[in-house]
Amino acid sequence: MKLSPERISSFCHPAARQVAVKVVDETGSTNADLLAALPTLATPALLVARTQTAGRGRAGRSWLSTPGKSLTFSLAWKFDAPLQALVGLPLAVGVALAETLDMFNVNVRLKWPNDVLYEGKKLAGILIESAAAARPDQSWAVIGIGINMALNEELIARIDRPVANIPWLADLDQDMLMATLLNRLAEAMEQFGQEGLAAFVTRWNNLHAYAGKSVTIIDHGKTLHEGIAVGVDAIGRFLLDGAAGRIAIMAGDVSLRPSER
């Protein structure tokens, strides 16, 4: 995969020009690397790995990828807001990813809280890890993203869950693709910093994969709730119409699945 930090930066729009771009041949986890580097960062930073050997997903799961067939990267962004203000950030990132992919005529939908689906299968995942900044009124978010492009059958079997891949994405100019993603993400982060989740709620609900469908909320294999998916509210909680009425669910480590009926 030919990825050049200089060329990626050359395609950046104003919001993304403040981001320091770095590309490495191989690392364990781009999120872990940026979290460790936060005390030394003077600006937002993007770290792209051609190969990631210990990628991480939500709830301690691994993110498996293949060199040149997946796009794996992390963006460290400082907000002029305390940590609690970052609630709902995964939804904003999901919207930014979906809107970017739409520019390439890839029509995706969003699964709460942080999956991007293509034809009902997982195309991309988001892992956000936050950290306090030196000042109490500031905070960092490290936004890890993995996008499947051209997975082989062996890797699909190892993942052992429905995954999507779009092989022709791997044939695109990868610097242009990465820059397009970075542009939209940087613009979304600026908007989130200024307006909060409110700027993204309607957009997320318009992209909701399971609106009006029967779903199950699961925690470590145990069913917590069943009902009809509504969408997300103003603070990012998932709204579900169950037998006892409407309930609002915070993310935590729970998983949403379509009900098998």
- Token couple for 90: 């995964």
**Is residue 221 within 8 Å of residue 213, measured between CB atoms?**
no
Count other Cβ atoms within 10 Å, centred on residue 114: 21
Tell me which of 109, 111, 122, 184 is the catalytic residue. 122
Residue 160: partners with Cβ closer than 8 Å, 6 or more residues away: none
Q: Within its chain, how far is the Cα of 257 from the centroid?
A: 18
User: Rounded CA gap, 93 and 91, in Å?
Assistant: 5
Give the active site residue among 121, 135, 158, 257. 257
Rounded Cα distance, 48 and 33, in Å = 11
Q: Which of 58, 78, 111, 237 is catalytic?
A: 58
Q: Are 50 and 175 in contact (CB under 8 A)?
A: no
The H or E element spanning position 223 is: strand 222-232
Within its chain, how far is the Cα of 69 from the centroid?
18
Please state, in angstroms and rounded to a whole number, the distance separating the CA atoms of residues 177 and 62. Answer: 24
State yes or no: is 122 an active-site residue: yes
Respond yes or no: is residue 257 known to be catalytic. yes
Q: Give catalytic residue positions.
A: 58, 122, 257
